[in-house]
Structure 1
Amino acid sequence: MSRILLLSVLLLGCSGQFSSRFIDFNAYYNTFYNAQLSYGQGYHKSTEQSRKYNFLLPIRVYQTPLGAGMQELQNTIDKGADILRDHKKSKWVDNALELIGKSYFFRTEYFSADQKFDELLLTTQDPLLQQKGVFWKGRVFMELELYTQGVQYLEEQRAIYDGQWLENIEDQILTLLAELYVARQNYEAAIPLLDQTAASLPGKALKERAFFLLGQLNDFQGFTHNAFNAFDQVSDHYFNYEIQFEAQKKKADVARQLGLVDEAYSVLSDMVKDDKNTEYIAELRLELGLTELQRYRPEKAKTIFLNLLRDQQFPAKARTKALTYYSLADIYRFNNNNFSRAAAYYDSAARINVPSESLPEYYNAQELSISFGEYIELKSNIQLEDSLLYLSSLEPAQFDSVILEIQRLQQAELERLQQEQEDRANTLVTIDRELNQRSNLNSNSGFLNELDQQISADAAQQFNALWMGRVLTDYWRFESLARNTFAQDSSEFESYTNENIAIHLQNKYTVDVSAIPFDLATKDSAYERLSTYYYGIGNLFFLNLNDTDSAEYYFSKVWSERPQSKVAPVSLYSLAEIASTKHQIDRAKELGDIIIQNFPNTVYAKRLAERFSIPIEQDNSIQTTEFDRFQQLYNNFEMGIDVEIDSLFSWGISAENSVLGEQAYRIGLTSYIENITLDSLYQQVLSRWLSEQDRWVADQANLLALKDSIKVILADSLLDPLKDEQLSALLDSTLNEPIWYDLFPYRGPNWDLARNYLAVYDSVFINPVKNTSILHLKRELILPENPYFVYVDSSLNDSSQVDTFSTDSVFTDSLSNKPFSNLSPPQNKDLTSSKEENPTINDYQSCIDLNISPSFRGGIQVLLSSISYPEMVIISPVNYRFFINERGIIDRFETVNSASNSVISPDLVDAINDGLKSGVSFEPTIIDGRSVRLVCEIVIDLFELK
């Protein structure tokens, strides 16, 4: 009996342990095992999904889930919930919570994931699971873009578990912490963390991305040697081909920055030879060309770029093509001093549609295309004026011989074109259709005889003989049918076209000598136009192209050749501005003295006198009688007394009273335009322009009516199928739009000068005094798009014919011959467009510390006059903080919290903000010969508006 009792006690004691093991066993194999399998499947689908990287931005080591494997992850959540519900006492409860949280995370349900990780941290006693929960909670902060909270949380946990981390969790958490710092653009804090952990992360994929990110951050911070080493280590952890390829490219780029151009060239050459990189051959050749530029071999680089564009086997993508055109433009600009071809290549680059976020920061093809286009136009006007002045200086016998030579050349060109037309008309070619249709099965000429040059040449000749005369437009067959339908309209159109062709030939091959300035008055006007063009080019170099040397050359040319010009004061002022930016204060003061002595009553004299504390004598009599002077000019003009238009322009620009100045300038401008419209030839051209516009509108209406009637006929189900096909084709017919550029009546040097006067008007006078009719006229005189400006595609032309400018029209600028600038992106740059990722305040120097106050470009009056003041609002000063870059451009601005700002109307602040966003900028600040970034607090006081 005692033995039975002892056995019962032993069995009763073991039953609890046996029951616990059975519960764990049952929970694992019935539920948790399957949950693990489902999670593994969903995890692999999520992480193995292909991604598209933007390597201009820092890449992510721990990547954002893309949503793949949703069903498998949901199965994991369901099975994990079964454990929590049906097996509460098993040891897999904490593991199930972790699986559910990770599944929610990869399903991008971050709030649910965060809740599960919080539950895990509260319930589990396992140190490893606790540390994993910290890691995953940090990833949730990252995906929710709660970067500050994420940094605070991980820094706290880092201190709590200091010295207690298990496995390699610490390395993963420090890497995640580094990524949170990167998201806040605190690269300095992120670099040492990544440098410590990159080599210790689990798996090649994480190591690969960590070293690449480390290289990017060092490159952004200017730590070029460290960046080179980091990019070099990426190849030791091969996982993703795209990252490996980009790492080698970045390694070559950083090598160029270090001056190791031979090393860079070697890396790129090896990449070109690698068969795996066939898809990126064009991109690698672009990098090779940039490396050759760094090796001071611009001609070799040009050859590489041109071959890249011509290559049909490995065609370049849009981004590579745009950067290649841009690089060719820079070669012609900086190395070959050929601004004409540079303009053509910048235009080609600007025409390629590439997302801005995929382009480097230095790329600004659109702006440069416009600027260089303006340069070519101004340079052409200068050449024209120079040529006309040269002809006017010739002796009569010399003048006659030049005119005869021009006529001879034009006549020879006309005869050549006529002869070519006759030769084409008189060429007889036998078209043997049967011969062309026979197939020679035993020949080795290839498909369609493409390998037999003789047969191909004969076929091409026969095709051209049959089809060469057709109209080279879309739907030319349908247009022919439409003309047959409207025979009368077609005959009228033909006669009209022949008349236009005759007029065009007459204008083209007749030497017009009316523009040559023979008398003193017209010569004086020509010299004034030259001065205006010189100032225009100088202003273009100074403000748009940042080329102060060339700008100084053209501004000096205005003062030295025509000191009485109306643009002489502003040219001298621009020279003073250039001297000031170069820190040549004595030179700037000297120019200020010249302006004050020669143009004391101009706004430029007043500005320089205030800036450099130069004494200026105010002529009070002139100040008090300014209205009398205007009235005298106006009365003389009304009474027909000879008043020079240039004097009206000059007085209008220099007048202190902007209202009187605008009226004087407008009177001169209106008089000038009225004079050039009196020309009988202009009246003819204008009449033809208006009639052609009316005819175009009428033809469009007729064609639309024809198509409507055809639609009615086609609705008939009994229509003959042949007629149905012909009429259906007519529905796709279009009209040949006239070449508006040829018909535009406002062309020629006189109208070019009018456009220049209008541009001066728009830039000199403030918005409140501008006349709306003058601004409307300015828009009306804008030239139509020139259809003869051909899009440059160097892949179809050789290097001597890459743009639309002939060799005779290539202009050079002796002061623009500079070594090629580094095309690499700046080392410190803004990487995204978000406000959070702009340069921090630490990147700017305080105006208070430097004891300086920057000046608005053009003066504070430019800003104040551009503001549209809201009605029924109390005007009061507003305190702003401006973040200003090296060029004086406002990176961003904000109102400063102060007692005075707290009572300001929001409508007033919005109005000032709109004015600040309209292109307002500051003068660059030069300290120790280098322009600097500034952060300054400035009060905008609208009562300062004069």
Structure 2
Amino acid sequence: MNHIKIVVVIFFSITSCAYYNTFFNAEENYRAGLEKKENNTQDKIPADVIKHFDASIAKSWKVIDFYGDSSSWADDALFLIGKSYYQLEEYDKSQEILEQFLQKYLRSDLIPEAELWLAKTYLKREDNEQALLKFRSMISKTENDEIRAEAYLNMGELFFLSGEYEEAISNFTECINATSNSETAGRAQYKLADSYYQLDDYQTAIESYEEVLGYDLPIIKQYDSIIQMVNSLIELGNYERAEEILKTTLRDQRFKKHFSMIATKLANMIELQGDSNFAVENYNEVINTYPRTNGSALANFYIAQIYEFEFGWLDSAKIKYDQVKKQFSKSESAEEAVKRSKILADYIKIKKQLNKDRDDMFNLAHGDSNLVDSLVTGTDTLVVDQTDTTRSEANFGQAMQIANIANLKAEEDSLKIVTPKIKEKKIAVSRKPEVVEASLLKNDFRIAEFFLLNYQHYDSAKASYFHFVENHSDSLLTPKAYFSLYYIFKDIDGDSLTADSLKNIIIQNYPNTIYGKKLSGIETEELKSDNSNISKTMFLEAENLVDEQKFIDAINVFNEVAINDSGSVWATKSRYASAYIYENYLEDINNALESYRVLAKEYPQSEQGKIAKNKIAEPPEEKIEPAPSDSTQSLNTLTPDSTLAKPDVLPQNDENPIND
């Protein structure tokens, strides 16, 4: 009998040990995944982090399946599953598991923590009202200071995201006072500093960010605090102190992983102070010192921005944009760099053909004795409007002349002015004169259309259209060019005087064109029918481009419809379609808001115009009510409708811009 008792004891001891080991391994995987996630700098969860949390879930289920859901640690295992799903950002599954936990284990010691995590899932799923009720209930009924501190922290984050920074500060302060956990206090201190930063109280923000460094936080959070401290100092104009902090950090081996970004920030500070030439030198030094890093990718992006928007070197800018993804494919600037490169590639293609046309025209006009490779440039130079930019003035004609040199190499891109050599070798013009003239006319117009529709740089568009009408006064495209100028001055610049002058030119010189008739108020049924058919055809072409996921090309066609047939229903639909694509497909918030503003201004009484007004309207001043589904949280944050979540195809309903 004693032998039987011994066997039973041994059996249960082995079983208990196996049980403990399985759950221990589940917890270890959870901790390892959490540590790696906290130090992750990318938007996506890394594969090895996912692997840890998946293992934690699998091993926890093993405990429950093998030993039963009434075993002593079954509640621990189920709670760990809920937390693991939360860390995997699968909040619906996390909520389901946590609610199941609270219904099943009514006497578990883990109930307060489970309620806290359930409230956090509400917050992540944007059920703010339910989350707030849960957090407040926990604060009032629990005696556990750490649970209360976590509730205050999460409530602070809720208020922070809602833009209620004073309320956020109050809750973050309560969290710091309630907790004895250094990590929890440090997280609250960081968000407290962020709140002061958002309120433009930069001095208090600096002091708060400095306090963050005294807490036991991951290196990435300490690094973020230093960068935000530097940003606050920059806002106060204290570049000297900001530089001192960055250089000190650059010598601290704890931040070695971030050295390239710190060096890029130092170069960026030089640019912010107005010395773009020296900034480019420093950006290039970052690229050479820290190749294939996040910092070198961002340095290339910043150089590209200077080349494009300050110097007007569009060829050189494209080369630098292309380098961003090559340097570091996961860079936050990579997506925008690819987008800018594609736009500039379209420009370079047109410009290359246009330069050939001009060279051939020059050679045809001067005969064989003057057949040389020409460096003639026309009006296809980016015109920088100093009212729209804070960058210093530059000689844009000279800049573009440099950028047009054939076979420009990335490593040769610098701010040194290169004197082009004229080749002595004669070349023949293979095309017939009439072919060259037709091509020149077409490409002169294409470059103007590019600046208006693709690039949306209206000063350059105006210069290009004026060049076109001066050099091609008898072309079939001339009235369209004048009408485009009329549109820019009237609807973009608000210059009614110049717009009226252009209107008179169109009416007097081109009375029988659709533009002349339209501006004269002659809306015959035939004209309406012609316009409608053309616009509808173009609209359907744009629809097809959307189906092919060629969103930028689709927007260009929609914009052309809106400009050329502004009084039609197709123009209204096109304006809305462009804004819709920016919001839901490209997720380009700034362009979406701008497109909605144009729509609301041009067609305020239309259904699409009313939707646009809601999109750009400031939210009502309500405490914690979630934002309406078709409004924005602020003028700078566009929240897609729940019914307008990015689909595979545009929904076919009355609010959808792409339908008949």
TM range (shorter): 0.5 to 0.7
Aligned position for 1:467: none
Over residues 15-42 of structure 1, what are the superposed CA-to-partner deviations in whole Å (9 max), with x where a residue is unaligned? xxxxxxxxxxxxxxxx999999998886
After TM superposition, list the pairs within 5 Å mapping 1:498-897 onto structure 2.
511-515=426-430, 522=433, 526=436, 529-579=439-489, 580-605=491-516, 609=519, 615-617=520-522, 656=530, 766=538, 852-853=604-605
Aligned position for 1:373: 345
Aligned position for 1:759: none
2-structure distance, mates of 1:389, 1:537: 18
2:162 to 163, 186, 203: 186
Does the 8 Å contact 1:392/1:516 carry over to 2?
Answer: no
Does the 8 Å contact 2:23/2:77 carry over to 1?
Answer: no
Verify: 1:158 aligned to 2:122, yes or no. no
Verify: 1:304 aligned to 2:277, yes or no. no
Q: Name the SS for the 1:236 alignment partner.
A: coil
1:51 to 33, 36, 42: 36
1-structure distance, mates of 2:218, 2:584: 25
Aligned position for 1:323: 298
Does the 8 Å contact 2:155/2:171 carry over to 1?
Answer: no
Over residues 879-904 of structure 1, what are the superposed CA-to-partner deviations in whole Å (9 max), with x where a residue is unaligned? xx9879999x99857889xxxxxxxx
* Structure 1 residues 47 and 320: alpha-carbon distance in aligned structure 2, compared to 1, 3 A threshold: same
Over residues 117-152 of structure 1, what are the superposed CA-to-partner deviations in whole Å (9 max), with x where a residue is unaligned? 4466x558xxxx6xx733422303535877456752
* Structure 1 residues 764 and 534: alpha-carbon distance in aligned structure 2, compared to 1, 3 A threshold: farther
Verify: 1:359 aligned to 2:332, yes or no. yes
Bigger radius of gyration among the two = 1
Moved more, 544-553 or 145-154: 145-154
2-structure distance, mates of 1:602, 1:831: 36
Does the 8 Å contact 1:101/1:114 carry over to 2?
Answer: no
Does the 8 Å contact 1:537/1:554 carry over to 2?
Answer: yes
Does the 8 Å contact 1:138/1:176 carry over to 2?
Answer: no
* Structure 1 residues 342 and 168: alpha-carbon distance in aligned structure 2, compared to 1, 3 A threshold: closer
Structure 1 residue 559, shift from structure 2 partner? 1.8
Q: Name the SS for the 2:215 alignment partner.
A: coil
Structure 1 residue 112, shift from structure 2 partner? 5.4
* Structure 1 residues 66 and 606: alpha-carbon distance in aligned structure 2, compared to 1, 3 A threshold: farther
Over residues 624-675 of structure 1, what are the superposed CA-to-partner deviations in whole Å (9 max), with x where a residue is unaligned? 9xxxxxxxxxxxxxxxxxxxxxxxxxxxxx994898x9xxxxxxxxxxxxxx
Does the 8 Å contact 2:360/2:429 carry over to 1?
Answer: no
1-structure distance, mates of 2:189, 2:364: 71
Structure 1 residue 768, shift from structure 2 partner? 7.5
Q: Given residue 565 of structure 1, which amino acid in structure 2 is its aligned partner?
A: S
* Structure 1 residues 99 and 213: alpha-carbon distance in aligned structure 2, compared to 1, 3 A threshold: same
Over residues 405-449 of structure 1, what are the superposed CA-to-partner deviations in whole Å (9 max), with x where a residue is unaligned? 88xxxxxxxxxxxxxxxxxxxxxxxxxxxxxxxxxxxxxxxxxxx
Q: Given residue 562 of structure 1, which amino acid in structure 2 is its aligned partner?
A: H
Q: Name the SS for the 2:145 alignment partner.
A: coil
* Structure 1 residues 116 and 56: alpha-carbon distance in aligned structure 2, compared to 1, 3 A threshold: closer
For structure 1, the residue ranges without an aligned partner over 5 or more in a row are: 1-30, 86-92, 407-507, 610-614, 625-653, 662-762, 773-829, 858-880, 897-908, 917-935
Aligned position for 2:53: 66
Structure 1 residue 308, shift from structure 2 partner? 2.3
TM-score, normalisation: structure 2: 0.61
Q: Given residue 513 of structure 1, which amino acid in structure 2 is its aligned partner?
A: A
Q: Given residue 315 of structure 1, which amino acid in structure 2 is its aligned partner?
A: P
Does the 8 Å contact 1:138/1:150 carry over to 2?
Answer: no
* Structure 1 residues 891 and 166: alpha-carbon distance in aligned structure 2, compared to 1, 3 A threshold: closer
For structure 2, the residue ranges without an aligned partner over 5 or more in a row are: 1-14, 86-92, 374-422, 545-581, 610-628
Aligned position for 2:379: none
* Structure 1 residues 210 and 531: alpha-carbon distance in aligned structure 2, compared to 1, 3 A threshold: farther
Structure 1 residue 536, shift from structure 2 partner? 2.0
Does the 8 Å contact 2:300/2:321 carry over to 1?
Answer: yes
* Structure 1 residues 34 and 839: alpha-carbon distance in aligned structure 2, compared to 1, 3 A threshold: farther
2-structure distance, mates of 1:343, 1:135: 52
2-structure distance, mates of 1:37, 1:833: 48
Over residues 171-221 of structure 1, what are the superposed CA-to-partner deviations in whole Å (9 max), with x where a residue is unaligned? 222223445677xx5353783465334523342222333344555677678
Does the 8 Å contact 2:219/2:255 carry over to 1?
Answer: no
Over residues 273-325 of structure 1, what are the superposed CA-to-partner deviations in whole Å (9 max), with x where a residue is unaligned? 222233332222222222211121212221122222223xx4332x4343222
Does the 8 Å contact 1:577/1:588 carry over to 2?
Answer: yes
Q: Given residue 315 of structure 2, which amino acid in structure 1 is its aligned partner?
A: S
1:242 to 220, 235, 257: 220
Does the 8 Å contact 1:38/1:72 carry over to 2?
Answer: yes
Structure 1 residue 225, shift from structure 2 partner? 6.5
Aligned residues: 522
Percent of residue pairs identical: 16
2-structure distance, mates of 1:844, 1:205: 43
2:112 to 119, 131, 134: 134
Q: Given residue 199 of structure 1, which amino acid in structure 2 is its aligned partner?
A: I
1-structure distance, mates of 2:29, 2:470: 74
After TM superposition, list the pairs within 5 Å mapping 1:156-555 onto structure 2.
158-159=136-137, 162=140, 165-179=143-157, 186-188=162-164, 191-192=168-169, 194-200=171-177, 201-214=179-192, 228=206, 230-257=208-235, 259-311=237-289, 314-317=290-293, 319-349=294-324, 354-355=329-330, 359-360=332-333, 364-394=336-366, 400=369, 402-403=370-371, 511-515=426-430, 522=433, 526=436, 529-555=439-465
* Structure 1 residues 538 and 115: alpha-carbon distance in aligned structure 2, compared to 1, 3 A threshold: same
2-structure distance, mates of 1:605, 1:884: 40
Does the 8 Å contact 2:209/2:228 carry over to 1?
Answer: yes
Structure 1 residue 391, shift from structure 2 partner? 3.7
Does the 8 Å contact 2:270/2:276 carry over to 1?
Answer: yes
Does the 8 Å contact 1:114/1:140 carry over to 2?
Answer: yes
* Structure 1 residues 237 and 36: alpha-carbon distance in aligned structure 2, compared to 1, 3 A threshold: farther
Structure 1 residue 765, shift from structure 2 partner? 6.1
Q: CA RMSD in A?
A: 5.8
* Structure 1 residues 320 and 176: alpha-carbon distance in aligned structure 2, compared to 1, 3 A threshold: same
Structure 1 residue 540, shift from structure 2 partner? 2.0
Does the 8 Å contact 1:542/1:551 carry over to 2?
Answer: yes
2-structure distance, mates of 1:940, 1:373: 28
TM-score, normalisation: structure 1: 0.45
Over residues 491-517 of structure 1, what are the superposed CA-to-partner deviations in whole Å (9 max), with x where a residue is unaligned? xxxxxxxxxxxxxxxxx9984434587
Over residues 710-760 of structure 1, what are the superposed CA-to-partner deviations in whole Å (9 max), with x where a residue is unaligned? xxxxxxxxxxxxxxxxxxxxxxxxxxxxxxxxxxxxxxxxxxxxxxxxxxx
Moved more, 110-119 or 557-566: 110-119
* Structure 1 residues 254 and 558: alpha-carbon distance in aligned structure 2, compared to 1, 3 A threshold: farther
Structure 1 residue 839, shift from structure 2 partner? 13
Aligned position for 2:398: none
* Structure 1 residues 562 and 106: alpha-carbon distance in aligned structure 2, compared to 1, 3 A threshold: closer
2-structure distance, mates of 1:114, 1:68: 22
Over residues 447-487 of structure 1, what are the superposed CA-to-partner deviations in whole Å (9 max), with x where a residue is unaligned? xxxxxxxxxxxxxxxxxxxxxxxxxxxxxxxxxxxxxxxxx
